[in-house]
Amino acid sequence: MSDSPTKPFKRLWEYATVVYFVGFLIALYVYTSGDWGWDMPPRLPVAAIALVAVSFGLLAIYTGEVSIRFTVYRSKNPIIYWLGVAMILFFGISMFLVGIGVIGT
C-alpha cells in the first residue's frame, strides 16, 4: 500500500461524511422528539442514510482503493476493486430509490 501516496482530501471527505451522518441522526432525533406540525415521509430517512453509502462509493473511485472486510484493495486488482465499488454504489443508490419511493411502492 505504500507505493502510492494518499489523495489530498481523503480524510476531509471521510470526516465530512461522518459529520453529515451524525448531523442527520441529531436532526432525526430532534424531529421525532417534538411535534412540528408536519409529517415526514416514513422512508425519507432511508434516502438520507443512502447518501453516506454513495459518498463512500465515490470516495473509493477518487482514491482508487476500496476497503472490504478490513482489507484494502487498490485499483491494481481491478476485478475486486470495481466489484467493491459497484457493491457500495449499488447499495447506496438502491437505498436512495427505496427512500424516495421509486422502488418498493
Q: How many domains does the chain have?
A: 1
Q: Is 66 inside any structural domain?
A: yes
pTM above 0.85, yes or no: no
Residue 45 placed within a domain: yes
- What would the pLDDT profile of 36-84 be if each residue is shown by its tens digit? 666 677 777 888 888 888 988 888 888 877 766 656 666 667 887 788 8
Angle of helix 10-33 versus helix 44-63 axis, rounded to 10: 180
Residue 5 included in any domain? no
Q: And the C-alpha cell for 27?
A: 436532526
Would 20 be classed as within a structural domain?
Answer: yes
Residue 5: which pLDDT band, with cuts at 50, 70 and 90? low
What is the distance between the alpha carbons of residues 69 and 51, in angstroms, rounded to a whole number? Answer: 21
Please say whether the dihedral angle defined by the alpha carbons of residues 33, 37, 42 and 44, taken in this order, is positive or negative: negative
Tell me the torsion sign for CA atoms 65, 66, 71, 74: negative
